[in-house]
């Protein structure tokens, strides 16, 4: 799937103006891609915070890819743990609960969950929707490289058919943007259902379904896709989107110069 075709998979209600879409693509043009070494979920969230705090001051863009570690429930910035997680079950199963600084809903991080964290200076004209479109484009393009057709659903989900494979969130700090999300490569649905309650808010397309009926994984949809291939697909997608943004900026510059001559 080409980048233009990936854009077509972004659901109509979540589309932004052409200008905002270009601003979203530019997030990848200058991003340094880092594959992070193994670390705990808490450490990775702390690194996200450090990078977004520095992004504006240092004018540095980083796309960091990292895998989850020991099972950990990560809740959104404004969520109450007792509402979104089964606290007694988490304690019994030895599952830690940590809070991230971005919005969105609770997720279960495990070793089979691949995460991307994009930190960048906050560009003018890049509203919340445009940033979520950027994340969706990255994931749709990456999944296409594994032979999977995905699309943006709800506010910030990416789904294959009617089943969610990725959730995304963002935060803005001191002139910096943090856009991050998960890709479910493989996950223990029994553990997930034991630890996470049904969310108090849900996108329309979920239609009240339980976690195991609503979520899917890359492994379930593409059994021959290894974790290494998924990681490689995300790197390749980011580089492709960055090249597309650079080409778009070049041709827009040429057209502007032509009008002025």
Q: How far is CA 169 from CA 107, 118, 145, 158, 248, in A?
A: 11, 11, 23, 12, 26
| Domain boundary assignment for the chain | 3-198+209-246
Average pLDDT over residues 200-218: 97
Q: Which of 23-37, 41-55, 84-98, 230-244 bottoms out in mean pLDDT, i.e. has the lowest?
A: 23-37
What pLDDT does residue 181 have? 97
Average pLDDT over residues 142-167: 98
Select the more confidently predicted residue: 32 or 246. Answer: 32
Q: Which of 90-99, 102-111, 232-241, 250-259 bottoms out in mean pLDDT, i.e. has the lowest?
A: 250-259
What pLDDT does residue 17 have? 44
What pLDDT does residue 250 have? 42
What pLDDT does residue 123 have? 79
| CA nearest to 116, candidates 71, 56, 67 | 67
pLDDT (tens digit per residue) in 115-124: 999 999 987 6
Q: What is the DSSP letter of 41?
A: H
Query: Which bin fits 104, alpha (ψ -120 to 50), beta or left (φ > 0)?
Result: left
What pLDDT does residue 23 have? 67
CATH of 3-198+209-246, one of 3.40.50.150, 3.10.450.50, 3.30.930.10, 3.40.50.2020: 3.30.930.10
Distance CA 231, CA 64 (A): 11
Place of tokens 């239609």: 207
| pLDDT-above-90 percentage for the chain | 75
Q: Sorting pLDDT into bands at 50, 70 and 90, what band is 253?
A: very low
Place of tokens 């339980």: 210
Beta sheet of 151-153, edge-to-edge order: 151-153, 157-160, 163-166
pLDDT (tens digit per residue) in 93-112: 999 999 999 999 999 999 99
Select the more confidently predicted residue: 166 or 15. Answer: 166
* Continuous H helices in 157-226: 189-195, 211-214, 218-221
């Amino acid at each position: 799937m080409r980048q233009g075709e990936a854009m077509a998979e972004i659901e109509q209600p979540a589309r932004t103006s052409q200008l905002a879409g270009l601003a979203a693509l530019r997030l990848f043009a200058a991003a340094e891609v880092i594959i992070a070494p193994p670390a705990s979920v808490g450490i990775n969230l702390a690194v996200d915070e450090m990078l977004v705090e520095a992004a504006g001051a240092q004018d540095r863009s980083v796309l960091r890819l990292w895998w989850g570690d020991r099972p950990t429930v990560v809740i959104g910035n404004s969520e109450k743990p007792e509402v979104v997680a089964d606290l007694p079950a988490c304690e019994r199963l030895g599952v830690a609960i940590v809070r991230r600084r971005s919005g969105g809903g609770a997720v279960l991080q495990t070793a089979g969950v691949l995460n991307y964290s994009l930190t960048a200076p906050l560009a003018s004209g890049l509203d919340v929707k445009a940033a979520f479109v950027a994340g969706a484009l990255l994931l749709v393009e990456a999944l296409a490289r594994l032979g999977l057709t995905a699309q943006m659903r709800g506010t910030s989900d990416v789904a294959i058919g009617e089943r969610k494979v990725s959730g995304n969130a963002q935060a803005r700090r001191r002139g910096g943007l943090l856009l991050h999300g998960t890709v479910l490569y493989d996950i223990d649905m029994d553990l997930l259902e034991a630890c996470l309650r049904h969310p108090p808010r849900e996108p329309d397309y979920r239609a009240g379904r339980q976690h195991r009926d609503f979520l899917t994984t890359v492994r379930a949809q593409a059994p021959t896709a290894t974790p290494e291939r998924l990681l490689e697909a995300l790197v390749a997608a980011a580089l492709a989107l960055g090249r597309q943004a650079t080409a778009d900026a070049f041709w827009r510059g040429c057209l502007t110069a032509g009008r002025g001559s």
